[in-house]
Structure formats: structure tokens, C-alpha cells
Amino acid sequence: MTPPRDPGAPEDGDAARTPVLADVAERAGVSQQTVSRVVNGSPAVARRTRERVEQAIKELGYRPNAAARALVTRRSRRIGVVAASSALHGPAMTLLGVQEAAREAGYSVAVVMVRDLKPASVDEALTELRDQAVDGAVAIVPEDASQAAVAAAEATFPCVLAPGLDGAGVADAYWGEVAAAREVTAHLLQLGHETVHHLAGPPDWAESRSRATGWRTALVEAGRRVPPPVRGDWTAASGYLGGQRLLAAGASAVFVANDHMAIGVVRAVVDGGLCVPGDVSVVGFDDVPEAAYLNPPLTTVHQDFAQIGRRCVHLLLGRLTDRVVDVGGLNPRLVVRASTAAPPSSPPRTGPSVAAGEVPPQVRTPSSA
């Protein structure tokens, strides 16, 4: 396309060609190296020279070529993200946080969305990212087998897993959810429900397990019967189905593992001719933006997903530069709205009749237990 340039003849009146370092150098009357130094903010350039070069850069509209730079420096200042191609609120928000944090740090982001969470798909995505020469990757793949795949890739390629932080760190996210789920359940018990049913997420998601664990713990602590949990797949449709089964089981209080399924549960209750919260109390998890405006407004647990994304990026960047970074903590918190109330027959008990009774009726503060 472009006619071959004669490297000998220092042409200059050439037609519009995107300018390169050499063009700037020529215009400013300095060497390429000096221009490079200016572009990269090296201090070893005299004030006057720097100004001249900057002027030339501006006049020519020069922009450094990322490929050439990546080729020689072996770093691209780009990080990759592998995310499940779902419309789930949590992952989507996390991705957003990743974007923001990366941008702030001067990194760009390459995203690969995977259709499913099979280890093979995740592996492939990671490989693609590696081929694209990203410096590291964040994996938003909240399913066990795929997390294992990421952990394996770790050995040869810096990557961090969705909730951020390994070992103690992931535990921090996990136990935060457990505590919140426990608080939800205690809240329901506090209202006078004899027990609380649970509509869980898919079994191989850590989020399913943490929420179920918190629920179970609260029930056991209170010495209540633990009804068998029903499973959904995070969608409203599965929530509807699960809701019907829960209704058949005579549930008066249901803790649903996410808001979307909770919407389905509410619908099932209403279709069953009952009321929320009059006959059945429903609590969700995640606090989607619409939760406060649903009918009824949904009691749920607020999570800052974007913060999770940010934290992952900081962690990754810290690892890339061998710096230890201080990543902010997460704390999911119960938000009580109008989808929970005392059960139909028995009035709400007053006083600390519930074992986990340290949770006040209207909890809005960060969980602590």
C-alpha cells in the first residue's frame, strides 16, 4: 500500500503518513532516542530540548506505536479479563470495576467472554489472552472447575480470580457472604418465622455455597429445623419454579440466593394466590438497582461488585510490579425493605427469643458477626 521508503534519502515532504518517532526527531532536530526519552518522561532531557520535542509531537500529532513498544519492552500495559457472557448483575458490575481501575492505572483492557464456564473454555480464553500479550488477567469465572483452570494457568501467567485475593483474601469475600446470609436468616427468624427455606444457586458456585452456609448456620444456631434447599440457576424463571416447590413445602419465609430468582419467587407466590410479605417473606441477595422499586420492594443484601473488580486489578497490578497493595475490603450488608414481615399466623415475637438475637429487627449496618 504505502510506497517503500528509501532509507537513504531523508524525505520530508511526504504525503499524510502517520508520523513516527523518526519524523518527530527530524522535525525537532534531535535523535530518535531523545524523542523516546521525552515520550517516556525520562528526566535526562534538558528543558529546552524537551519543549522543542513536545512542540514537534503536537504539530505532527505523533502517537507512539503500541505494537513496536510492546515488541521491544515485552510488556503491553494491557490486562485481560475473562468473563462469562451472561447478563448477571454481579459479573457485569465487576467487569465495570475492572475497567475503571485498569484505566486509572494506565492499563487498557482486553475482554474475552466465554459462553460457558467449562474449564476448557476458560483455558482457551486464557490462552487467547496470553497470545494477545496481556501482562496479566482477571478471571471473573465464579464456578469451581473453571477456577481450578485459572489456578493452574497461574503458574505460567499472572492472573487473579474474581473475588480477588487468594487464600485469606478469597476467604474474606466468602465469609463476608456467609455472615450476610446468616444475618438475613436471623432477620427472618426474628420476625417470628419458625424456619427459613432457601432457594440456592448452582452447586458449583462459591457464591451458592457461602450463602447456603450462612443460612444453615443461622438455622442451626437458633436450633431450628433445616429444610432441604431448592436449587435454581440464578434466573427469574428458575426462581419461579423453585418458588412453586417452596410453596408446596409450606414455606413462610424464603431466603433466595439472588435478586433475579427472588423476583421469580415473588411471582410464584402471587400466582399461588398468596401475598408477599403477608403470607410469605422473601429476601434476595445482590441488591440490583431495581430492587427498591419492585412490588413489593425487596429486602436483600447489598454488594459492591465494582469494588470487587477494582480490587482484582489492584491485586494483579501489584503482583506485576512486585508491590504489595492494599486492596479495600468488601462488606455486603442487609437492606431491609418491604418483602419481609411476620408470618401470617403467629405475631412477631418481641424480645430476644431467637438465639441469633443480637441482630436488631431493622438492620442496615455492615454485618459484623
- The entry of DNA, a copy of itself, none near residue 99 (CB within 5 to 8 angstroms by kind) is a copy of itself
Q: Does 362 bind DNA (CB under 7 A)?
A: no
- The entry of a copy of itself, DNA, none near residue 107 (CB within 5 to 8 angstroms by kind) is none
Smallest gap from Cβ 359 to a copy of itself, in A, equals 27
Stretch that binds DNA, among 13-21, 119-127, 199-207, 299-307 (CB under 7 A): 13-21
Smallest gap from Cβ 135 to DNA, in A, equals 14
CB 49 within 8 A of CB 34: yes
Cell of 2: 504505502
Cell of 242: 423453585
Q: Does 44 bind DNA (CB under 7 A)?
A: yes
Spatial distance between the Cα atoms of 179 and 175, rounded to a whole number of angstroms: 6
Stretch that binds DNA, among 2-10, 174-182, 184-192, 330-338 (CB under 7 A): 2-10
Smallest gap from Cβ 41 to DNA, in A, equals 10
Spatial distance between the Cα atoms of 273 and 264, rounded to a whole number of angstroms: 14
- The entry of DNA, a copy of itself, none near residue 22 (CB within 5 to 8 angstroms by kind) is DNA
Spatial distance between the Cα atoms of 150 and 123, rounded to a whole number of angstroms: 7
DSSP H helical segments within 82-143, as ranges?
A: 89-104, 119-131
Within residues 271-300, the interface with a copy of itself by CB under 8 A covers: 289-290, 292-295, 297
Cell of 1: 500500500
Spatial distance between the Cα atoms of 335 and 306, rounded to a whole number of angstroms: 18
**Which helix (H) or strand (E) covers residue 221, if one does?**
helix 206-221
Smallest gap from Cβ 320 to DNA, in A, equals 15
- The entry of a copy of itself, DNA, none near residue 289 (CB within 5 to 8 angstroms by kind) is a copy of itself
Spatial distance between the Cα atoms of 219 and 213, rounded to a whole number of angstroms: 10
CA pseudo-torsion sign 189, 190, 191, 192: positive
243 burial type by CB count under 10 A (0-12 exposed, 13-18 middle, 19+ buried): buried
- The site map against DNA for 147-176 (x = CB under 7 A) is ------------------------------
- The site map against a copy of itself for 242-261 (x = CB under 8 A) is ------------------x-
Q: Does 33 bind DNA (CB under 7 A)?
A: yes
Residues composing the chain: 369
Cell of 229: 434447599
Q: What residue ranges bind DNA (CB under 7 A)?
A: 4-5, 7, 18, 20-22, 29-34, 36-37, 39-40, 43-50, 62, 64-65, 68-69, 71-73
